[in-house]
Amino acid sequence: MGLFGNSYKKIIQHLQKKSEDHSKEITKEIDELLKDLKTEYDENQEVVTEFNSFVEQLKNKLTPEDAHKLQDFSSRLKKVKRCAGKGVEAMRELARDQRKHTSETRMEYEEYLLMK
């Protein structure tokens, strides 16, 4: 007889199944959010470049003060783009960490069930 009786093994198997189901659901949600976020980011990635080109065209037609304001706005828009890129990368890391955690948890449960 192993470390656990059959009733304990059944309880652990039930907990394992429940844990895996929760982890898979969380992984699925994270993957969907990452996909949506990346799609939105990719679709809008060129906006900053296009806006900067537009700013360059307008600079000579504006007063120095307005040109400076527009350049300042362009700089802030670049920061927003960097922030969005970091958000996509953070979601990617979260998705990877969740998959890793799910795999590690599954292995731990299997180790407990194999104890003799």
Query: DSSP letter at 62?
Result: S
pLDDT tops 90 at residue 9: no
pLDDT tops 90 at residue 30: yes
* Residue position matching structure tokens 């906006």: 47
Q: Considering the entire predicted model, what is its pTM?
A: 0.76
112/75 Cα distance (integer angstroms): 55
Closest Cα to residue 77, out of 37, 38, 49, 43? 49
pLDDT digits (tens, 9 = 90+) for 32-72: 999 999 999 999 989 999 999 999 999 889 999 999 999 99
Determine contact, residues 90/74, Cβ cutoff 8 Å.
Answer: no
Q: What is the CA radius of gyration of the chain?
A: 25
Q: What is the mean pLDDT of residues 4-9?
A: 73
95/88 Cα distance (integer angstroms): 11
